[in-house]
Structure 1
Amino acid sequence: MGHLAADTDRMTARVRRIAGQIAAVERAIAADAPCATTLHLVAAVRGAVAGLMDELVEEHLREHVAAQGLSDAERIAGADELATVLKRHFR
């Protein structure tokens, strides 16, 4: 997704925050934390990953499906790529 180059630092920071959340889940499990605590941590990870997915899907739609100047073939390819990812995502 080369069009994200301008947002590389922001996106990398977001992924690192998610990695930190995953590490917190690991620490909670290793420390035998209460179930509710671990469940809250996992729910936060799920929300963070969902937010990242939302942002990436929106960027893909804007750049590879709806952008001005794309050929019909490019739009179809962009839509096909997104459909493949969404099928995997919603399994």
Structure 2
Amino acid sequence: MAHTKAVKEQLLKRVKRIAGQVQAIERALEDDADCAKTLHLVAATRGAMNGLLDEILEDHAWEHVAKPGLSDEERAKGTEELLEAVRRYGK
């Protein structure tokens, strides 16, 4: 997925942080934490997921849609993949 090693490492770090946030939500629910605290944890995790999605969508658009030298077929495939991801996210 990631087109450079540096990007891959950054994405993996983000995913690990998100995993930690999900674990914090789980602990909050298990410990009957205050509703407001739990809501904040969920909102922060959702924001982190949205940021990850934005980054991957942007990378896909640049690499598989806008990259010079792509054939029309490759560009059409990349566009359809991008649109399908957006459709799924909207559900």
Q: Could you tell me the TM-score, scaled by structure 1's length?
A: 0.95
Pair 1:72-2:75 in alignment? no
User: Cα–Cα, structure 1 residues 4 and 49, in superposed 2: closer, same or farther, change >3 Å?
Assistant: farther
% identical aligned pairs: 53
Q: Secondary structure at the match of 1:32?
A: coil
Q: Secondary structure at the match of 1:3?
A: coil
Distance in structure 1 (CA, Å) of the matches to 2:87 and 2:4 = 23
**RMSD value, Cα:** 1.0
Q: Could you tell me the TM-score, scaled by structure 2's length?
A: 0.95
Long gaps (5+) in structure 1? none
User: Cα–Cα, structure 1 residues 54 and 2, in superposed 2: closer, same or farther, change >3 Å?
Assistant: closer
User: Cα–Cα, structure 1 residues 82 and 4, in superposed 2: closer, same or farther, change >3 Å?
Assistant: farther
Q: Deviations over 1:7-32 (max 9, x none)?
A: 22111111000000000000000000
Match of 1:84 in 2: 84
Q: How does 1:4-83 map to 2 (within 5 A)?
A: 4-83=4-83
Long gaps (5+) in structure 2? none
Give the AA of the match of 1:33: A
Aligned length: 91
